Amino acid sequence: MSIQVRILGTGCHIPENAVDNSAFLNHEFYDENGEAYPHSNEVIVEKFQAITEIRERRYAEPTQVCSDLGVLAAEKAIEAAGIDRESLDLIVSAHNFGNIKFGTRYTDQMPPLASRVKHGLGIQNPNSVAFDLLAGCPGWIQGVITAHAYLQSGQAKRALVVGNEMLSRAVDPHDRDGMIFADGAGAVVLEAQTTEGPSGILGLANRTYTADEAYYLKSNPGYKPGSNPDEMLIKMKGRKIYEFALRNVPDAMKGALDHAGIHLSEVKKIFIHQANAKLDHAVIERLYKLYSMPVDVDAVAPMSIQWLGNSSVATVPTLLDMVWRQQYEGHSIQSGDVLLFASVGAGMTINAFVYRW
């Protein structure tokens, strides 16, 4: 008999406001030197879609803030878990920019978003501890890894891990990379259970590279000349991130499998952060090469970036919820299936975990 950390329920909130690529045709795009691109916006958008496969993304309603999305996803996860919300010992909110009101560029992170999610859920129990986790796009997986430590140690019995993000309000409208980002939220309820066989979270991997990579993703003022120098918006070195991820993420995923004592041939589904479809395909192909195995990426790895964009911490739990609820045609999860979760992002952090359903 051993303590295993298992998922009791999942939930997500996908905003209804779909913004397709044509919405960017009237934007003014500038490079990092403040110079306008020589190409037309039609060419810029066409190349963007060819590289990322993103044709649309979701933005939250003007009346909503990031923590509101977290509450909506958490409600669904709690309902799916079938538990009394007052029994939650731990609430973790992974995000990057806090709450930003529509039409502003000012972040609001006090009180922590986890406390706001707890408040929104109406939880009265003071022993239900709530805190935020800032770890870039890998934040939700980092939240699961953190909750796993609490649950394994006996400090908690049940945990809610939410990934909520509203990147549409933290992007530079004059930066081509801004077309990648989106809004959304996903959540899971975890429970420590005493079981006989290996199940739940079986293995983990966690790495952070900062020697040369720390500022591949950072906050900087907008690119357009005359932009407010005090505004801190998402900026990234796309090529360097691509090369970094391709070089390091497959090995970290293998590290999680090795920690679990699981061979890649046993993995039924891979839930990888939806950063860029071309990158995600390349990372998975490189992982299978490490095992000298062929792979049909579309069969093993559901992807949502084409129509949901990159909602950072929300992409992985959102995908999990869609597949678990059989809302993603061609993909499902069965009892006993081995799942591999992985993400990479600001920091530069890579993390992964292996889970037996």
Q: Which residues are catalytic?
A: 137, 273, 310
Say if CB 29 and CB 36 are below 8 A apart.
yes
φ, ψ of residue 346 to 5 degrees: the values are: -45, 135
Quote the CA–CA distance of 352 and 25 in Å, as a whole number: 37
Q: Calculate ∠ Cα 62-66-68, nearest 5°.
A: 80
Quote the CA–CA distance of 158 and 147 in Å, as a whole number: 9
Counting Cα atoms < 13 Å in the Cβ hemisphere of 320 gives 32
Name the residue with tokens 């949901």: 308
Say if CB 87 and CB 215 are below 8 A apart.
no
223's tokens:
């690119």
Kindly state the helix (H) or strand (E) to which residue 192 belongs, with its residue range: strand 183-195
Beta strands in 90-157 (DSSP E): 90-94, 99-100, 107-108, 129-133
Instruction: Count CB neighbours of 334 within 10 A.
Output: 8
